[in-house]
Amino acid sequence: MSAKKKAVAKPPAPEEKRRAATILRRLAKAYPDWGPTLRFSTPFELLVATILAAQATDESVNRVTVDLFKKYVGPTAYINAPQAELEKDVHSLGFFRNKAKAVKLMSQGVLEKFGGDVPPEVERLTELYGVGRKTASIVVGAAYGVPSVAVDRHVARVAQRLGFVKADDPVKIEDAIAARFPKKDWVKATWCLVLHGRRTCTPTPRCPECVVRDLCPYPKKTKVLPKAR
């Protein structure tokens, strides 16, 4: 019996691509600061920061990495750092034991697999400990300008509400976004969706102030702004 072929999603119709283009144009105007919100000066620093950002805000990570990146320069410094000391340095970000371990093992992988250089390819980056496709896509897009779509919880939520995709699978969400936008716009689309999800299309959406509400098929639009907590 032959193996089942993987189902290939139907390409979006031209009108759907035009809707997506209008959505991106409006979001880019609404969020002119779109782009990476983690501070870094090298691809390796961005890789460390992105690992530390799990279950933490980018603002809190930036406060920690101001000193962290001065103390530890390059993979070898993290490899040689005592585990307890590195845990203390990232303690405020939560899950500090797992994050310290992940950064040390990732650093070891960068040194052993890639000679100390962070590769600009998603597939190669995901060979490293603690580096999933989302993290890899953020790094290659922001640090190298390589067209990529990174799917975090904000991107997933917005893409589903906009009707780009119904699935919860990050790979299917990534494919749906990539199919709707030119490759040159993948990084812009990622960050516009991230910021829209953080600031407007939150778990309880702020639909009255949404710039794409007329293009959004989400059936549970709010009619009043949620109360500030």
Active site residues: 134, 152
Q: Answer for the pair 49, 65: CB distance below 8 angstroms, yes or no.
A: yes
**Residue 172, number of CB atoms within 10 A of its CB:** 15
Residues in the chain: 229
Q: Map residue 6 onto helix, strand or coil.
A: coil
Q: Answer for the pair 27, 212: CB distance below 8 angstroms, yes or no.
A: yes
Residue 201 CB burial class (10 angstroms; 0-12, 13-18, ≥19): buried
DSSP state of 41: S
- Rounded to 10 degrees, the C-alpha dihedral 27/31/37/43 comes to 60
Q: According to DSSP H, which parts of the chain are helical? A: 14-30, 43-52, 58-71, 75-80, 83-89, 96-114, 122-125, 133-144, 153-161, 170-180, 186-199
Q: How far is CA 149 from CA 90, 107, 141, 197, in A?
A: 28, 24, 8, 15
